[in-house]
Chains A and B, each alone.
Chain A
Amino acid sequence: MIHIFRFSKYESFIVTILVVFFIVVVSFFSNAVFAYPENVRHGYVNCTSCHVSPTGGGILTPYGRDLSREVLSTWGKEGEGEFLYGIIKLPDWLLMGGDARTLYLYRDNPSVQEGMWLWMQSDVEASLSFKNLWFVGTFGKNYSGSRGIISRRHYINWRPREELSFRGGRFYPAFGINTPDHIIPTKRGLGWDQGDETYNMEVGWLGESFNFYATGIFGRPDFSPSKQEKGISLLGALNLGERFKIGGSYYYGHKSNEDRHILGPFGILGFTSHFFLLSEFDWQWKDTTTGSQSGFVHYERLNYEIFQGLHLYLNHEQSYLNLNSSSSNQYSFGLGMQFFPRPHFELNLLWQKQKTPTYDDFVDFAWVLLHFYL
């Protein structure tokens, strides 16, 4: 369960306006951490330019912090992207970061019309480096499940040479596009929602034109045996030119009463430095004690950056994981806007029309994400 504050429709509207206003005002007068795979379109073919993690996301490198001002944000001053705006100078061997995210969710369907604020994340993250070793860990409040304090990610990463990476610890296995949008069918639909990081051993090749990751997945000791999924994942991707990345992923997972295979291609296609497409399609075969089923999920985001920091995008996604049951089929399309006014701030809005088996007609679904990274 996620921590929920409920408001009436009008209260929600007013709160949304106030929060958006606050973000915009603060960003004008003030002087991150997520994966943004679309930066491939700027020539960043590997995640490690900006992130410590070989698969992207999480704590930023010093270069990544500067890039958050130079490439990601509309406005900003030199040094503004630094940890805590550069107030605290950290030694070279220590990197710090953190994320606070809150989401306003709106649903309008024949059963309910409501808006609610969800507090999703408040984590700090640190990385200690020694020669070719990185020790990374997050620490924050758990807003789902057992509550309390959690560490979503903690791992040791060893890079004996620049292309080669070994990693062990808790993190998401490499599969498909590492987008921060964890509620899309290619993430949540396949069981990789927020908080679903597992304990893994990973070897990665981060070459100039080719990436490969093989991950052994050892599950989660804090889960009950019936929920413990163990297996492997493989991901290969080609960097074509300076703006295109295409690849494919395979996953095998085994639980006490279930086996599943997932296979699918993905692409990050930067047509220009302003116009790009993220696309992923995955097919899943699942064998359980009660039978077999197969189906697919896919996700597309067609994005245009109007000016630096302001994106408009079209979103399309579908989850149909059991082709023998039409009740498993749901799809949606929508229009979104993502705005990075200044380093440390992100605002993301998405309005979707959803078709679910529950209702005959399309229903409305929208969210506004506010994200602040230290």
Chain B
Amino acid sequence: MKWIKSHIAIMVFTLFIQVYATTESRTWELNLNETSGSVQFLAVGRPSFLKIRGHGEALEGALVVTQSGISGSVSFNLDSLDTGINLRNEHMKHKYLEIHKFPKAELKIIKISLPDTLWTDISTSLENVPYEGTLSLHGNQKKIDGLARIKREENDLNITSQFKIKLKDFGIETPSFKGITVSEDVDVSVSFKTPFQIKK
């Protein structure tokens, strides 16, 4: 009987250790301040379907990834946006985005479902992971729906995400210049690659 009790005790202890270890390893901290990445947008000018692509520097902020979702927020310096044409940049930043009043955009993930494979497989790629978030831009906050591509390579996460915004949802006047008017819908793409720390 004694050896049975000992065996059960060892099993319970092992199970406890496993559960503890699993719980611990499923909480990751991402510090985006030291990562590479970019923010891009694509807008269309009409008539003539002019393609306007803007590029900006990487995101800032910190995220915590758990099985229940992603908490924290990331922000983006709007002054770093560049569309390749100086006058257009100036109009975009000062007339429409009003960066002197609203210098940053902030994104907060409120709902995302992450599958187990992200934790169990050290080399995995998840396509079209839906999420909901709130985007703060131009002094306005609006819920957004997006899709993310999440790639894990051991202790690195490579995330690319796309979502659409409507300029009027954020109180941004429709940009127009000398007969060319930018469409209301703008496609936004965010990407970054960062190592994650396992939270203890």
**Residues of A in contact with B (beta carbons under 8 Å apart):** 42-49, 61-63, 65-67, 70-71, 78, 159, 162, 206-208, 239, 242, 273
Contacts and interface: CB of A to CB of B under 8 A. Distances in A.
Nearest to B45: A49
Contacts of A239: 49
Contacts of A66: 87, 177-178
B51 interface: yes
B134 to A, nearest CB: 29
Given A43-B53, A66-B87, A162 B178 contact: no
B178 A45 contact: no
Nearest to A44: B50
A48 B84 contact: no
Nearest to B86: A70
B85 A71 contact: yes
25 contacts: A43-B51, A44-B51, A45-B49, A45-B51, A46-B48, A48-B47, A48-B48, A49-B50, A49-B180, A61-B179, A62-B178, A63-B177, A66-B87, A66-B177, A70-B87, A70-B88, A78-B87, A162-B46, A206-B47, A206-B48, A206-B49, A207-B49, A239-B49, A242-B42, A242-B53
Interface in B163-179: 177-179
Contacts of B45: 49
Looking at chain A's contact residues, is the secondary structure mostly helix, strand, loop, or mixed?
A: mixed
B41 to A, nearest CB: 12
Contacts of A45: 48-51
Nearest to B180: A63
B85 A63 contact: no
Given A61-B179, A63-B178, A162-B47, 18 more contacts: A42-B84, A43-B52, A44-B51, A46-B48, A46-B50, A48-B48, A49-B45, A49-B48, A61-B178, A62-B179, A65-B178, A70-B85, A70-B87, A162-B48, A239-B49, A242-B42, A242-B51, A273-B84
B99 interface: no
A37 B160 CA distance: 33
Interface in B45-72: 45-53
Contacts of B178: 61-63, 65-66
